[in-house]
């Protein structure tokens, strides 16, 4: 069985001290015993919002020729607006990138426990920057959802291919505080994406629901990426889903 994983930083194991803890590696090592088949993993980083994203997807599918696809979807491009993106649009990429690096350096000095003097300074800085400069997203909700829809439709047209679509998650509490709309937007996106996946009879994995009850510092140690506890949760869910679908035990 050949699995094509279209992932991003989490499937790369970003933040993990040991790659063996990643859900991708756990899938590779543990799935064969569950389905009584050899398993080959083809992993590719995939971002639908970049130029040519759908074409990249189609090329990866054609080159890999998998039996099963696991596609990790992210709403980052439309949900996480930033001052840096706004500055790029106003003054060009170099200035926007420079400003983001300066902001990140400031964050490293001031991102402490919520309620402390440094944390209030950090929040005030980002609030003021957002009010005076504004924030822009990389892409739009409709463009991102539409891109994923095209990919799922292509999967459905590919003979003898099964898939699991993985929903997106919130950013950490600091980002949520700056962007109070973020949770509602991500929830809407997951509902819409789930509808597309299930309309084509593919599996659906709600990553936010899986980790939603955990403390934020566990769920997103750096406000965006996931640690070993989350990889373990994802691995168990994927092992169950893939095994059920591969062995014919998936719910109709």
Contact 204, 198 (CB under 8 A): yes
Contact 22, 227 (CB under 8 A): no
Report the SS3 class of residue 67. coil
pLDDT at residue 86 in the model: 72
pLDDT at residue 249 in the model: 62
Whole-prediction pTM: 0.80
pLDDT at residue 213 in the model: 81
Is the model's pLDDT at 252 over the cut of 50?
A: no
- Mean pLDDT in residue range 136-155: 91
pLDDT at residue 120 in the model: 76
All domains of the chain in start order, with CATH: 2-80+139-246 (3.40.50.1110), 84-132 (no CATH)
Contact 83, 99 (CB under 8 A): yes
Report the SS3 class of residue 126. helix
Q: What is the number of other CB atoms lying within 10 angstroms of the CB of residue 62?
A: 10
Q: Confidence class of residue 219 from pLDDT cuts 50, 70 and 90?
A: low
pLDDT at residue 250 in the model: 57
Helix (H) or strand (E) holding 142: helix 141-157
- The candidate with the shortest Cα–Cα distance to 134, out of 89, 191, 192, is 89
Report the chain's mean pLDDT, rounded to a whole number: 86
Contact 97, 85 (CB under 8 A): no
**Least confident segment among 44-48, 116-120, 172-176:** 172-176
- Mean pLDDT in residue range 81-97: 75
Helix (H) or strand (E) holding 184: helix 182-199
Report how far residue 23's alpha carbon sits from residue 13's, in angstroms, rounded to the nearest whole number. 8
């Amino acid at each position: 069985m050949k699995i094509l994983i279209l992932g991003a930083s989490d499937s790369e194991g970003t933040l993990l001290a040991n790659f063996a803890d990643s859900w991708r590696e756990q899938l590779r090592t543990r799935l064969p015993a569950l389905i009584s088949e050899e398993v080959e993993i083809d992993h590719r980083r995939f971002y639908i919002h970049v130029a040519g994203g759908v074409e990249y997807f189609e090329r990866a599918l054609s080159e890999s020729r998998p039996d099963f696809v696991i596609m990790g979807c992210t709403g980052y491009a439309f949900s996480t607006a930033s001052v840096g993106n706004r500055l790029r649009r106003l003054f060009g990429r170099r200035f926007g990138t420079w400003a983001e690096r300066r902001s990140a350096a400031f964050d490293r000095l001031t991102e402490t426990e919520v309620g402390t003097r440094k944390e209030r300074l950090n929040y005030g800085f980002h609030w003021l920057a957002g009010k005076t400069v504004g924030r822009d997203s990389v892409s739009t909700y409709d463009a991102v959802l539409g891109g994923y829809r095209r990919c799922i439709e292509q999967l459905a047209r590919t003979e003898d291919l099964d898939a699991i679509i993985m929903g997106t998650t919130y950013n950490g509490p600091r980002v949520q505080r700056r962007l109070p709309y973020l949770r509602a937007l991500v929830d809407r996106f997951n509902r819409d994406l789930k509808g597309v996946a299930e309309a084509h009879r593919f599996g659906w994995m709600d990553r936010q629901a899986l980790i939603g009850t955990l403390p934020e510092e566990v769920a997103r140690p750096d406000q965006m990426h996931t640690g070993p506890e989350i990889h373990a949760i994802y691995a168990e869910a994927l092992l169950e889903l893939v095994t059920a679908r591969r062995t014919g035990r998936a719910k109709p």
